[in-house]
Each structure stands twice: as structure tokens, then as C-alpha cells.
A and B are shown apart, each in its own frame.
Chain A
Amino acid sequence: MSTPVLDRTSPAPDPRHHPKDDDDEGARPAVGAFDARSLVSSLPAALRKLDPRHQVKSPVMFVVWIGSALTTVYAVVDPSLFTWLVTLWLWATVVFAGLAEAVAEGRGKAQAETLRRTRSETTARKLLDRSTGQEEAVSATALRRGDLVVVEAGEVIPGDGDVVEGVASVDESAITGESAPVIREAGGDRSAVTGGTRVLSDRIVVKITAEPGSTFIDRMIALVEGSARQKTPNEIALDLLLASLTLVFLLAVVTLQPLAAYSGQAQSIPVLVALLVCLIPTTIGALLSAIGIAGMDRLVQRNVLAMSGRAVEAAGDVGVLLLDKTGTITFGNRRATALVHLDGVEPGVLADAARLSSLADETPEGRSVVELVDASRDGADDAPAGAEYVEFTAQTRMSGVDLPLGDQDDDERGTRMLRKGAASAVTAWVRAEGGEVPAALADVVDGISQSGGTPLVVAERVGDAPARVLGVIHLKDVVKPGMAARFAQLRAMGIRTVMVTGDNRLTAQAIAAEAGVDDVLAEATPEDKLALIKREQAGGRLVAMTGDGTNDAPALAQADVGVAMNSGTSAAKEAGNMVDLDSDPTKLIEVVAIGKQLLITRGALTTFSIANDVAKYFAIIPAMFAGIYPALDRLNIMGLSSPQSAILSAVIFNALVIVALIPLALRGVRYRPSSASALLRRNVLVYGLGGVVVPFIGIKAIDLLVSLIPGF
């Protein structure tokens, strides 16, 4: 299976991205492989699609269906070997179109089957009264939004919801294919659980957020099966164009009969139908829905669930990518590497303050501060009793601790407030607390920022004394290798990358320069992010972003392509139009590539289909009319052996080319990021010029075989 990964040579290693197709056979069937067997096994499904109620959905194939029916009647009334062979191959054309669709759907079906098994009837322990813990056993399907259920180790979570109480490790391999358990806990951004996954340890209370039948797994099944598939806007537009082309050719063929009669030889119905079917764009008409299904499937193979095909199409048009710096552009484990104390501050005081303010900070950065300080001196004290921790929020962009001063019995005791955080936030706090910010701070902060590091300013306020700045913690962030090359490719594709970070402007710009992004949104609050998206959209650009937190939800909803991380909150997953089961933010780049590939495949096969008509004309027109005007045989440049053989060969080619292109439709045409001009040149050459040349060779080859049939 070929994968349209943006950059095959990119060294960017991503520890979270496993090659799923190889190692998770047990959890989920490997999909994507295409072989002759799948053609045979999909044949029954393809034959079921002969139902005219199904055919009418594709105007092109419906015309073929009617033509085949018409020819069949004619063949029964006036049988001949030629008529029956033409009839046979016309029906084959219809069946092959169904086959393409059935094969594409078949790849999802196996996956849906596995998913269905996980959804098998579960009994839920519905919590009737949270205070008494009174429970009632109900069927999972009886759960409604807002119900509370208890799930303990070894049990299957009965429905989608948020953990409202407790912490548990959860095996989500049923949907993600990832065997390592994940932690789900009440509150924060890791509270969402998915129905059908299994709790491995502990006990949690889950508040159900989805009605039965519309759970994540239900949607996923519908998606991979293609049953919920709706035609996307571009697909509808293409359908319209194909329908009008079909009408043009219908017109040309219908009016040809009186002209042929005038010229002295009316044509038989099978010959006219053969001409029509060869001219109308059957190749793309037969493969169009398979291309759409396969496009969604390619996303599923990368563990991305697109909630609508529209979003996949939009991905191809994306003009701006919003990428979170942490975890996407950098590895995200910024570490404290140095403490810079300001003049007049004892180094020990800074180290102590930095450590105390980080004790409750469970982020890697916070832990790295504690580790840095502890490594430089012996022994580690715990936080003093009575400490009150101030948590980091996106709005304050500070964390810290308030420590009681002196004895606990002392009524006159004051508080020692320690704060650490972004320079702008902490200096604002110092000023608000009556302190002054020394000019030297700016130099230190700027110096660290310009070197690509992140400065965390530490300040304190003791009792009623004015607050003062103690110094700066130097955090270093490591940009993932290969990112600059990826962004250069995106730029060549016309996509601007915007790095979104809570860091201050200078830090952000230093990292941006190192990573090679086009723009930076520094010191970003969720509101800033939303405003940026709206601004870009007002300029006519489509915006793609990833997010996981509840505060990302408005931006995810606003973005044209919003990829929510599966590890994120259910609010984020509701708001986005795609969910990445691997929770890998860099995958956005692949999503864009898949969107583009989907559109290119459609365009390329349409072009191929239309270009084919040239050769078919040169096969069929002389065959039809050389009897009237022998000079027209000069148009038979392929030297086809007889008129009947020429017409039959064209029909056979027309049918076989569908089968031959099924793998391409499922795989998508090759896509390498490059400029629009380069892409156009290549695709016009391959599918336009190729589309003109290939049928000349193909029809001639088939004619050589057909001419061996007695009577041809």
C-alpha cells in the first residue's frame, strides 16, 4: 500500500505514531491491501447494485443501465453473436462499476464488523443516587444523555461520556488499535471516555453524553461502512458536469440516427448504444463513489475519523494551518536548564522560590524545575504545611504558591506569595502588587527568548512588602527535526503555517525561525485563536487546526478542518469535524495531503475518461459509416479488423478500463507536494495525454483477440 505521506524522507520521528497496519492485526483488520480476491469476493455485492434504484444515483451509470436493458431486448428479438456479445459487455460495464464501489465498501465492512463486536450488548450500572451509591442494572441501550454510570475494572464502558469521578486506566484498543492503556480522570482535558472501551483498573463514574445509536462507535461504524456517506459539494459539482456531458453525447447519438438515415444507412440499436456508452464518461462515473469511499478509508487507515466528507474535501483547500507549538513543532518536553538571578537577589532565594512554586506543578516543565534545583543541592524538602497552590490557567498564565509566614499560632503572620510564569503575566502581577520591575529583567528575558528558550519569571511578595522579581528560569524547547523541510513543502503547496503558543512573542519568534513557520500567534489565549481563525476566513482562506481542550472547542468548531485529539475532551470531539485516534497533532499535514489526493484522483480520472473518447471515435465512427462512405475507412487508423470487431473492442476496452483503474481509485493517484503548475503539468501529461494514447493501444490489442472469434 502506498501512503501519501507528505515527505517520505522526512526524519521526523514520532513516537506516538505506530505503523498500525502491521502490528495490530488482532485488534483491527489490516485494510488497504487490494488484490484480485477482493474483486471476486465483492462480486455478489456488485451484482446486488444492479438494482435500478441504486443505479439512478449515478446519472452516467444509469444511462449505461438503460442502454444495456435496451440492447438486451433487441438481442432477444433479433439475436446475433455480435449483439449478444455487445449486450454482455455492456452489462459487464454496469457490474464493474458496482464492483468498484463494492470493493471500496468491503474494505470498511471488515472493520465495521470488528467494531460491532465491541458494541455487543453491555449491561450498565446506572447510578440512581450519587450520594447513596444506589445502582440499577440497565441495558446500555436504555441509557440517555445525562445518566450516571459506574464502571469498574474489567467492565466495558456502556456509552460515550465524561468521567465525573475517579481515575482509571482504560484500554481503548477497540477504537484506536493502540494496546497501551490510557489514563482517564475526572476534570481537565482527559475526561472523555468512549463506549465500548474497557476499564482496566479502578472505578470511575461516567456521565453519559451521547444517546444510544449516535455514539462514537456507531458513527465510526457508519463511517467505515460508507452507509452514512453523502455526496460532497465537489462530488456533486463533478456529477453535474458528468451528467451534462452525458446529455451532450446522448444528444449527439440520438440526432445521429436521422443523419445516418439521411446518408443512407440507419444504425442498429446495439451499435448506437455501444457508441453512446463508449462516449459518456463511464470510467469516472463508475469510479466516482469508490474514490470518495476510499478517500475516507485512507483517513481511517491513518486513524483519523472524518465526521463528514465535506471536511476531507476542505482539507485539500486549506490555506492556513494552525499548529500548536508544543508537541507538534517541538517535542514539548521543555526542561529548565538554568536559573538567572537578578542583581540583589541571593541565588539561593531564587532557587528556593523556583522550587517551591513548582512543587505542585505536574507538567514536565514544573518537574524539570524541581529536578534542576534538587540536583544542585543535597536533600529535598517537602512543601511546608499550609501552602496554598495557585494553579496555572490559560488566562492568568501563572502558577505559584502562597506560604504562611512565621508560626502558625502567630496572629500577625503574613503570606509569602511566590509566582512564576510568562514574563508579561508575572511583571503585571508584580506591578499590581505594588512592586517595580527592574530594567535588567527585560534583557534577561529577551536574551533567553532570542536563543529560542522560554523564560519563566519568578517573583515573590513577602507580607506587606512590595512584590519583587527574583529571577528567571531558562526553559529550553527542542524543535523536532525535519519540521523546517515540512513547512517548506507546505509553503510550496500554498499553505501558510501559523505556530500557536502561549509563549511570549520573542520566544515564539525564535522557535518559529528555527522551525521555519510563516507566522506566529504568541501569548495566545483561546479567544486569540478564534479571532485569528475568523480573520483568516474573512480573507477567504480555509483554516485547519488541531485541539484537545474544552477551551479549544469554539476554535475547532470555527475552523474549516478541526481535528480533535481522541485524548481530548468530548466537547472538543463534538466541535471538531475529524477525530485523530492517535492524538497526533502533526497528522494534520497528512490529512491535507489526503484531501488533495482525493480531489486530484477525481480530476485525473475525469480527464482520462474524456481523453479516451478520441480513440473510441476513431474506432467506432469508421466502423459505423465506412459502409456509406468508404473513404471514411481512412479514419480507421488503428487498422481494426472489421466494423463489428471495432465496435465490440471499444466496448470491451471501455468496460475493462474500469476494472483496471479500481486499484488506482482506491489508492489515489500519486501525490507529491509541489506547486500547482508542476502538479498540473504532470497530471495533464499522465492522465490527459495518457488518456488519449492508452485506448488506441488497448482497443487495438483487444481487436487482435476479438478478430479470432469466428464471424468477426
Chain B
Amino acid sequence: MSALSDSAAGFLTIAVLVVALAAVHAPLGDFMARVYTSTRHLRVERFLYRVAGIDPDAEQRWPVYARAVLGFSFVSVLFLYAFQRLQAWLPLSLGFAGVAPATAWNTAISFVTNTNWQSYSGESTMGHLVQAAGLAVQNFTSAAVGMAVAVALVRGFTRSRTERIGSFWVDLVRTCVRILLPLSVVAAVVMLLGGVVQNLAGPTAYTTIAGGTQTITGGPIASQEAIKELGTNGGGFFNANSAHPFEGPTAWVSLFQVFLMLAIPFSLPRTFGRLVGDKRHGYAVLGVMGALWLAAVSLTVWAEVTGAGAAPQAAGGAMEGKEVRFGEVLTALFGASTTSTSTGAINGAHDSLTAAGGGVAMLNMMLGEVSPGGTGSGLYGLLVLAVIAVFLAGLMVGRTPELLGKKIGKGEVTLVALYVLATPTLLLVGAALTAGIPSLRDASLQDDGAHGLSEVLYAYASASNNNGSAFAGFGAATDYQNVALALCMVFGRFVPMLLVIALAGRLASQAPVPVTAGTLPTHTPLFASLVTVVVIVVAGLTYFPALALAPIAEALS
């Protein structure tokens, strides 16, 4: 392949993706807005509410909403933990024993927090039932929890003088029943057509061309794959994730997977615009997310295609660890998107990205997963950063800051400040402990020097921001890392969520401030640019010293 056709193909791939997302974001966003504002309950939903004993028309105050989120997630963790531990006695276990306690705890938390960090190999640890009835179910619900919280925050902006921010149960059920399930079915069928495997076959031994034998497991892959991407989960059926031919058989399926992981996060701004009654606000949010994503993709592609070093130069790009079937552009696109969306699915080895490419992947996560971020978490994360931007910008126009008619006072700033503190605390403390304590370092680090530090930073960035991808050189399967990373996942998921729900409650109870010529317009390119700068500066200032010692030192060397 010549370099020209390569970059042309890469450009075309990205262009196709952007066009597809642009086409789908308006109808999908509008549809989701209708889902969350509809007063009608579907029959199946009414059935679910009756079974669970829930009054779907009773709305919740924020503490109740928060308790529902936490309670539901806690029960999910217990259930998933038990499911894994009891695997040996369950059908379709393919003969696997129960999963070890530390791994089971880590995995349960990982899937409930939408992280889908995997410290195990799916095909050699879990049977089909655990994969399909345990992990895949969490792929739906954890994504739905994120979207519910995002919608609750939006209600904080749209409602006034009320304590109620919606019903978590209704938001959860509707997200699953009306949005995620139908879309997953369609996506799964598309993937089946593309060659993704869907069966209940056990491990089969094959004789390879070279004459050796290889054991390959089939399974309900397509159905799990669809929600894995759509719900920005990322937990693969196989250890190799989307680089496995059964998970990502062709280039266009790989591209389709990128499309799926971006579809909902890029459509939620539209939903937001609809719900607040001004599409321009949605465009502003979309603009910020889109610009950050495009910058990340461009940087990664550039880093990978022009990879420094003798081997990449000879190969016409940094091919090590790439999805060699599709070329480095698709791997770069996949990598940039999966780290921008908290998905964490991979179709190449991130550890083998160039130092700059790996650094961008790390930075994507450190931005707080807002470009466009996970399902729901991306939107609320960006809105929180917009609150910070509006606080500074609002002061600079001579008013007490306000966003969408809500004053940003002491209480709001406290919540937002804690939100911004939460993830860096987990990330930096976690990474400093592992890097600083020799025994931990020796147990988990494959490399030393700057790249070794990159592996640690990447792992904790991934866990704290609920991404789930990893630099493979980092040995996460120790008991300490299983527990520590799981703690990062739990706190990285639920502390920000709690703060967001509390913020929603505070905002909803406020009286609205009318918009005048003196109000800072928050739908303009100027304000969107300001939010973009705030996103970069907040993350950049926090992580620059650490990054300097890892990917930056590595990339400049």
C-alpha cells in the first residue's frame, strides 16, 4: 500500500463515519428526547413496574434518585459476583470453575460501573451463561444508569421550583426497553451479516495451516458485541476484544463498531438541546465534543502513520500491535474513539501505540471522558465542565454566573469542584502508589522507565474514568491491582454521579433567571470554544507533570 492511498483511505474512512454520525444524531437524539418526556408507559414497562412494585408516575427527589442509583448498582454487583463465583454449578459453563474472588469482584464492579476492565481472558474464564446473562445484562443496565443520571441533570436545568428530578426506575427501564434493546437488535443483525459469530458452541479444536492445533470458542458474540459498543461498555467476549476475528471480522464491521460506540454519546447533545427547548445549546455541546474527538483522532492517526523509529519508518507506519488486517488508520480511529467514549473496546494493542498515540489515548480518558464520553456520562461530564466555564465567563460579563437560567452559586460550585477533584485524586494517588511502592511496581510492570510509568498511568486513568482499555504490559491480575482498580472504578463512577444528581436537585429547586441581553449566551461558538479550553486546561494542568514523565518523555526521546 502506498502512503498516499493509505492516507486517502484513512481520510475516507473518517469522512464516512462523520457523515453517518451526522445523519443519525438528529433522529436518534430527538427520539431519545421523546422517550424521556413521554407520559405513556409501554405494556412491557408496566409489567416490569408491577413486578418490581414501582409506581412509575412517582417522581423522586434527588436523595431518593441517588439512593435508587446506588442501590440498584450495589445489587447488580452482588448478583454478578455471585453469578461468577457459582459458575461451576450453572449450565453452559463450558466446564469452567467459579471465577476467583478477587477477579470476580473486580469484574463485577468493572461491568456495573460501565468500565468493563477485564483482568481475565473471557474465552478461558467464563461460560456462555455468565457472559450473556451476567455481563451482557450489565452492559445494558450500566449504560442505562449513565443515561438516566444525565437526563436527571438535564431536568435540573429544565425544571424550576421543584424537588423532583424524575424517576430513576422509569429512566432506567425506558432507556433499556425503548433505546438500547431495539438498537442492539438491529446492530446485532448487522454484525451477524458482517460475519460476527452467534451460537452456543463450546471450544472446538482446529488444526491450523501450520499444522498445530488451536482451540477456538464460539458463543453468543454478536448479541453481546452490539451492546458492548452501543453502551460504551467495551468488555469483549474474547481477550483480544474486537481484534478477534469473531468479534471484528472485517474492516467495515470494525468501522461499524466505532460508529456504534459514538452513536449515542454524539446524539445525546441533541436530546439535551431538545429537552432544554433550544437546539442551539445541543449544537454547542456537540461542537465541543466533536472538536475534541476529531482532534484526538487526527493526532492519533498522525502519530501512528508517521510513527517515529526505524521499524515504523520501514513499514510505512507503526504497525506493531495494529489490527494488521485493516491498517493503522482504522486502529488509530478505533483507539481514539474507544478512549474518547469510555468504551475501552480495542481492535489493536494500545500498549503498542506510538508514545504520542498512547499519550493521546491516555489524555482522552483524563479529559474526564467528555469527547463525547460514555453513554450519559459524557453529557453530564461536559455539562459539569460547562458550569465551571460559565462561572469564569459569567463573572467576566459582570453578572453572577448562570447557565440555562440557573444561578451558579456557592452550592453549585462546591458540587462541581468536588466532581473535578474526584477522578484526578483516584488516578494520581492510585498511580503514585503503584509506581512508588517497589513491590507493587515489580508485580505489575512489564517495562521500566517512561513506558512503564505510562502503563501505570494508563491503567489508573482507565479505571478511574471507567474506560476499561489497558496497556497490556501492565499486569492487573494481582490481588492488589484487582482490588485497587476496582475501588477506582467504584469511586470514579459513583462519586461523580452522586455529585451530578445532587447538582440536578439543587438546580431544579431554583427559580429561573430570565434571559436578557446581559445574560452570557451559552450556545455560541465563543462559549463552546471556552468550554473546550476549560476541558483541556483542567485536565492538562492536572496531569501535565505526570504525563511529562511518561508519554511526553517517551515521545520526545
Contact = CB atoms under 8 A, between A and B. Distances in A.
A639 interface: no
A316 B519 CA distance: 11
Nearest to A319: B516
A440 interface: no
B537 A610 contact: yes
A243 interface: yes
15 contacts: A234-B400, A240-B414, A244-B417, A244-B418, A252-B546, A253-B545, A256-B546, A258-B432, A259-B436, A492-B517, A493-B517, A610-B541, A632-B552, A675-B518, A680-B397
A259 B412 CA distance: 34
B520 A680 contact: yes
Nearest to A621: B548
Contact of B556 (A243, A255, A256, A631): A631
Contact of B543 (A252, A634, A688): A252
A224 to B, nearest CB: 24
B453 A259 contact: yes
B520 A676 contact: yes
Contacts of B392: 603, 606-607
A470 B161 CA distance: 55
Given A253-B545, A628-B553, 10 more contacts: A237-B409, A255-B429, A256-B546, A493-B517, A495-B518, A600-B396, A610-B537, A625-B549, A671-B398, A677-B524
Interface stretch (B139-147, B227-235, B419-427, B466-474): B419-427
A613 interface: yes
A162 interface: no
B395 A602 contact: yes
Interface string B313-351: 000000000000000000000000000000000000000
A596 interface: yes
| Residue in A253, A256, A263 whose Cβ sees the most chain B Cβ within 10 Å | A263
Nearest to A632: B553
Interface residues on A, range: 35 or more
B158 to A, nearest CB: 15
Interface string A665-681: 00000010001110111
B514 interface: yes
A558 B514 CA distance: 19
B429 A251 contact: yes
A589 to B, nearest CB: 14
A544 to B, nearest CB: 13
Contacts of A557: none
Given A236-B410, A676-B518, A259 B396 contact: no
B190 interface: no
Nearest to B406: A540
A259 B518 contact: no
Contacts, number: 207
B517 A258 contact: no
Contact of A252 (B424, B516, B533): B424
Interface of B: 388, 391-400, 405, 408-410, 412-414, 417-418, 420-421, 424-425, 428-429, 431-433, 435-436, 441, 449-450, 452-453, 511-514, 516-521, 524, 526-527, 530, 533, 537, 541-546, 548-549, 552-553, 556-557
A493 B398 CA distance: 10
A591 to B, nearest CB: 13
B435 A258 contact: yes
B548 A632 contact: yes
Contacts of B526: 677, 680-681, 684
B436 A262 contact: yes
A280 to B, nearest CB: 10
A607 B398 contact: no
Nearest to A264: B449
Main secondary structure of the interface of B (DSSP, over half): helix
A533 B194 CA distance: 67
A664 B441 CA distance: 50
Contacts of B552: 632, 635
Nearest to A541: B514
B396 A251 contact: no
A258 B549 contact: no
A317 B520 contact: no
B540 to A, nearest CB: 8
Contacts of B418: 244
Nearest to B391: A241
A316 B397 CA distance: 9
A599 B549 contact: no
B405 A540 contact: yes
Contacts of B431: 255, 259
A194 interface: no
Contacts of B414: 240
A261 interface: yes
B399 A687 contact: no
Contacts of B516: 319, 494-496
A429 interface: no
A237 B410 contact: yes
Contact of B517 (A261, A262, A676): A676
A442 B450 CA distance: 90
A244 B420 contact: yes
A168 B548 CA distance: 77
A34 interface: no
| Residue in A259, A606, A631, A688 whose Cβ sees the most chain B Cβ within 10 Å | A259
A255 B520 contact: no
Interface in A565-616: 595-597, 599-600, 602-604, 606-607, 610, 613-614
A629 interface: yes
A491 B517 contact: yes
B396 A604 contact: yes
Interface string A643-686: 00000000000000000000000000001000111011101100
Contacts of B524: 677
Contact of B417 (A243, A604, A681, A684): A243
Contact of B549 (A260, A495, A679): A260
Given A241-B388, A244-B417, A677-B521, A540 B512 contact: yes
Contacts of A237: 391, 408-410, 412-413
Contact of A316 (B398, B512, B517, B556): B398
A680 B511 contact: no
A241 to B, nearest CB: 5
B517 A625 contact: no
A238 interface: yes
B395 A317 contact: no
| Residue in B400, B414, B429 whose Cβ sees the most chain A Cβ within 10 Å | B400
B517 A687 contact: no
Contacts of A712: none
A684 B553 contact: no
